[in-house]
Amino acid sequence: MAETAGMRRQSSSIQNNPAAVPPRILTEKDVLQNRTTSYTLTQFITSTTEGDQQMALLMNAVQHACKVCANAIKKAGPCDLYGLAGSANSTGDDVKKLDIIANTVWVDCMKSSGVCCLLVSEEEEEPIVIEDADKRGPFAVAFDPLDGSSNVDCNVSVGSIFSVYRRQSPDDGPATVKDILRPGSECIAAGYSMFGAATELVITYGAGVFRFALDPSIGEFVFVEEMKMPKSGGKKIFSCNEGNAHSWDKPIQDFVTECKQAGYSARYVGSMVSDVHRTLLYGGVFLYPADKKSKKGKLRVLYEGFPMAMITEQAGGVASTGMYLGKIGRVLDVMPEQIHDRCPIIMGGARDVERVLNLYKNAD
């Protein structure tokens, strides 16, 4: 093929500016090598559960539930799965068709793992106790099967969130609700999946936070990175529902006003998974505080507050309740009174969370 003038100009530009060299196009061989050498979630689970076969079975059940949910969400439009199911869940929220599907998937996956003794779901009024001794194990698991489902019909990112406890009651009988009504500091594992432009799964066993992305061509989650919040506090971003601002405590109102005056950007999706995921990666702060309408806040402790707080702290951030029940404290120190209990949330980098807490202290 004859060299054109345009080709000569591009060649000359690249020679004079090495930074202008276009990226090499990946070949089929490159892609194949990446898929065969990637560190998969299955490998990660096997190598990090330290011979705990039951924990390995549980985490494999979690990743399976996430894959099935991702597939259902991807097909929601063509399969007529958008819209309301015509009922309300345990906390009074309208239930979507996908809420029911995701809940069924999570409950079935946890039960079939054979290592769970008690399940708590946002979509279930009462805890699910595994009665059969041959089909239960040492773990009590709380989960929100489809967080942010109010956004799912408009194709905004949603997700699943879970926390894991090891039962304390004698294992010669069924578990009791006391096995899961414990502070978040006693969680032994937590995580969330996010269904957006890509399907991701983020997990912690209490020693670091690890991010995986689903490669749909091989059906495996592959390792992306160990997540650590920027030590400097990261980007100046605040994330909250300002529609509730008139009901907030004055320190929260003052903090948001300061953010605007200091040139912070406002970013709020309305799906906790999405907002916290961005905060972990970019920095800033996510707030869903208590207010005059909701004295305990709106987010549920066991399957939203605790797992996200555990992940945030393990990534180097801070997770606080703000002023709650007369004192400032960690989210992970909250003692839930019932399985769908709520608590306020202020989580993100220390730079911003500490500023909120100082406003509370100075207000006293």
Calculate the CA 71 to chain-centre distance: 18
Residue 354 appears among annotated catalytic residues: no
Alpha helices by DSSP H, listed for 240-345, are 250-261, 272-282, 306-314
- Structural contact between residues 349 and 233, judged by C-beta atoms closer than 8 angstroms: yes
Please pick, among 98, 146, 214, 359, the residue that the annotation labels catalytic: 146
Cα–Cα distance for residue pair 167/186, rounded to 1 Å: 10
Please pick, among 57, 81, 98, 99, the residue that the annotation labels catalytic: 99
Residues in the chain: 364
Residue 172 appears among annotated catalytic residues: no
Residue 146 appears among annotated catalytic residues: yes
Please pick, among 41, 118, 144, 359, the residue that the annotation labels catalytic: 144
Please pick, among 52, 93, 153, 354, the residue that the annotation labels catalytic: 93
Please pick, among 118, 123, 181, 299, the residue that the annotation labels catalytic: 123
> Considering just the CA atoms, what is the radius of gyration of the chain in Å?
23
What number of helices (H) and strands (E) belong to the chain?
A: 9, 16
- Structural contact between residues 137 and 117, judged by C-beta atoms closer than 8 angstroms: yes
Residue 93 appears among annotated catalytic residues: yes
Both tokens of 95, joined, read 């239930």
Residue 123 appears among annotated catalytic residues: yes
Residue 147 appears among annotated catalytic residues: yes
Amino acid at 237: I
Please pick, among 147, 275, 291, 313, the residue that the annotation labels catalytic: 147
Please pick, among 122, 179, 313, 352, the residue that the annotation labels catalytic: 122
- The secondary structure of 135-180, three-state, reads HCCCEEEEEEEEECHHHHHHCCCEEEEEEEEECCCCCCCCCCHHHC
- Structural contact between residues 145 and 123, judged by C-beta atoms closer than 8 angstroms: yes
> What is residue 8's three-state secondary structure?
helix
Residues known to be catalytic: 93, 99, 122-123, 144, 146-147, 304
